[in-house]
A and B are shown apart, each in its own frame.
Chain A
Amino acid sequence: EAGVTQFPSHSVIEKGQTVTLRCDPISGHDNLYWYRRVMGKEIKFLLHFVKESKQDESGMPNNRFLAERTGGTYSTLKVQPAELEDSGVYFCASSQLTGGVRGTDTQYFGPGTRLTVL
């Protein structure tokens, strides 16, 4: 079974430019999450999709960040315009909840995209 994949692995852009990150979840996983780790701090939640719908976007920092998951398959996270503080590693994770609230919802992480804004 292929794992979660992310593209690109690294991105270096100038402040004010636009960057789009892509995540391909494990096939069949309805849940897709975006997280971010900034400057060696904790991994922080950004948002959660269930299929193509945004279930929770409470972690999105501001309106410069736009996430989409058209068709409920892969997802993109666009940062426009990028600022210095957006630098960090962006992780995507996917899961398939089974058994309801007493079940399992193991989140499988992708390798991350390291974003550097200069």
Chain B
Amino acid sequence: GENVEQHPSTLSVQEGDSAVIKCTYSDSASNYFPWYKQELGKRPQLIIDIRSNVGEKKDQRIAVTLNKTAKHFSLHITETQPEDSAVYFCAASPVKAAGNKLTFGGGTRVLVKP
């Protein structure tokens, strides 16, 4: 089955700096890669996703890149703000006609220091 590794497990950055989280996956059949943000005591929320036919996707201060050959994808947050502090999870899945089971990485706790 699919295995997703996520690094680092914790990340502390100064406000305004960039943060990068990296994930690798094992199953070449995976073609959908979402990123979830979970603030303390709240539900995981999708912040960005990418499909295997795209190499990069941006949404304001957030970007995700995908290297299918190397089987890794990364989340980039620029100009970090205190409200970016949260646990971030990457996931991978093969999208099938009847839905997709997500395999998650272990999570990265991001702390943005003012």
Contact = CB atoms under 8 A, between A and B. Distances in A.
Interface of A: 3-4, 30-31, 33, 35, 40-45, 48, 50, 55-56, 58-59, 91, 95, 97, 100-103, 105-112
A55 B4 CA distance: 22
Given A42-B107, A43-B89, A106-B34, A31 B99 contact: yes
Contacts of B102: 33, 35, 43, 45, 107
A91 B105 CA distance: 16
Interface in B56-114: 89, 91, 95-107
B46 A106 contact: yes
A35 B89 CA distance: 13
Contact of B98 (A97, A108, A109): A97
Contacts of B33: none
Given A43-B104, A97-B98, A106-B34, A111 B42 contact: yes
Contacts of A55: 98-99
14 contacts: A3-B43, A42-B104, A42-B105, A43-B44, A43-B89, A43-B91, A43-B104, A44-B104, A91-B44, A97-B99, A102-B95, A107-B34, A109-B43, A109-B44
